[in-house]
Amino acid sequence: MKGANDQVPLHVERYQLRASSRSSKQGRAGKRPVGESHPQGATDRLALLVRVARLAYEHELSQAEIAELLHVSRSSVSRMLREARERGIVTVTVSDPTQETAKLAQLLKERFDLREAIVVPTELELERQVRPLLAQAAAAFLPTIVRDDDILGVSWGRTMGELVKRLRPVSRQGVSVVQLNGGLNRADIPGNPHHVTQQVAQAFRASAFVLPVPAVVRTRELRRELESDPGIRKVLELAANCTVALYSIGVLSADSVLVQSGYVTPDELARLQARGAVGDIGGRYFDVTGALCDPELESRTIGIELAQLTRKRYAVAVAGGKEKRRAILGALRGGYLNTLVTDQFTGAELLQSTW
């Protein structure tokens, strides 16, 4: 019988379903018709996702067979299966008998003096292709390092936006979640700062502290004035004192969130490129050796400083893909992280780097 995607991936060990309390009855492959319009309640929606997931992964029906059984379109089934994975109803365990990723992780820890390294297996190399895999791995790792009464600092952007979609509720006491660097002037860009901070806080049942200022301002005097505000100063102090910091590493390009938001102008982008900048963390740009590239731009940037990341119990960078390898290497050489979540091709390239 066919699988959910009409192909069975190699080495798949098992699918695990995290069902709601109602799924035991509604998850069977009975012929209860479901119309094209989905149930409105959140509980009914979850029950439907569980039912579709069970039909796909436990009963091994194809998407076409599920669509016929439930009287919905095949594309609706595909979307529901994707949503079931994103919500954590379905988790996939892949067996890797070679344990190559574990070996890479250990080598990365030794080479770059890391506290932890998590290497994610992948068959693809582009950043946008590995981003969801890294987000899933980081979302699973984060609860293992956050303790009661921790201050958890989070940045924002596309990777963090993917991560919060995969973060599950965690039982912790007294945790505070704080935005590490200034935000955006656009709400339509993925990984909006307030959304990321609030979603992480919700997962840890924590207090959320956002930083309602731009990532970069036009003068250093304006930066000082904003930072002198008592409310903003309190958030910046929390960020500076966070025990766990979670962020991605940006790459220097016209497609970056900071450039698209207008915080880094085309002239500044050209200047950074001329000075050898390869990437940024929280809007602070560095070259492949880890050296900061633009003191003037640095003086107008609001948020945690890179030197402060070197003193965290966990400074977790979630980054991968061929486009980001030089930026990741620069961050490693600068000591701006002690924990790396990356993909297997990037991990291997970092170990062989001669840049």
**What does the domain layout of the chain look like in residue ranges?**
12-94, 100-351
Residues 6 or more apart whose CB falls under 8 angstroms from that of 351 comprise 104, 107, 108, 111
Residue 321 half-sphere exposure, CB side, CA atoms within 13 Å? 19
The amino acid present at 207, given as its one-letter code, is: S
Residues 6 or more apart whose CB falls under 8 angstroms from that of 286 comprise 277, 278, 279, 280, 292, 293, 306, 330, 331, 334, 336
Q: What 3-state DSSP class applies to 260?
A: helix
Strand partners, 193: none
Task: Record the tokens describing residue 97, joined without a space.
Answer: 């008998």
Which CATH architecture is the domain 12-94 placed in? Orthogonal Bundle (1.10)
Same fold, 12-94 and 100-351: no
Is 117 in contact with 196 (CB distance < 8 Å)?
Answer: no
In the chain, helix, strand, coil percent, each to 5?
45, 15, 40
Task: Record the tokens describing residue 240, joined without a space.
Answer: 């500076």
pLDDT at residue 189, rounded to an integer: 73
The amino acid present at 45, given as its one-letter code, is: R
Nearest residue to 3 (alpha-carbon basis) of 49, 53, 61, 51? 61
* Dihedral angle sign, alpha carbons of residues 255, 259, 262, 266: negative
- Provide the 8-state DSSP code for 28: S
* Residue 156 Rama label (left phi>0; alpha psi -120 to 50; beta): beta
Residuewise pLDDT in 10s, the chain (355 residues): 444 444 333 333 345 555 443 333 343 344 444 433 444 577 889 999 999 999 999 898 999 999 999 999 999 999 999 999 998 899 877 766 667 999 999 999 999 999 999 999 999 999 999 999 999 999 999 999 999 999 999 999 999 999 999 999 999 999 999 999 999 877 777 788 999 999 999 999 999 999 999 999 999 999 999 999 999 999 999 999 999 999 999 999 998 888 888 899 999 999 999 999 999 999 999 999 999 999 999 999 999 999 999 999 999 999 999 999 999 999 999 999 999 999 999 999 999 987 7
Helix or strand run (H / E) with residue 176: strand 176-179
Q: What CATH code would you report for 100-351? A: 3.40.50.1360
Tell if the pTM clears 0.85, that is, is over it. Answer: no
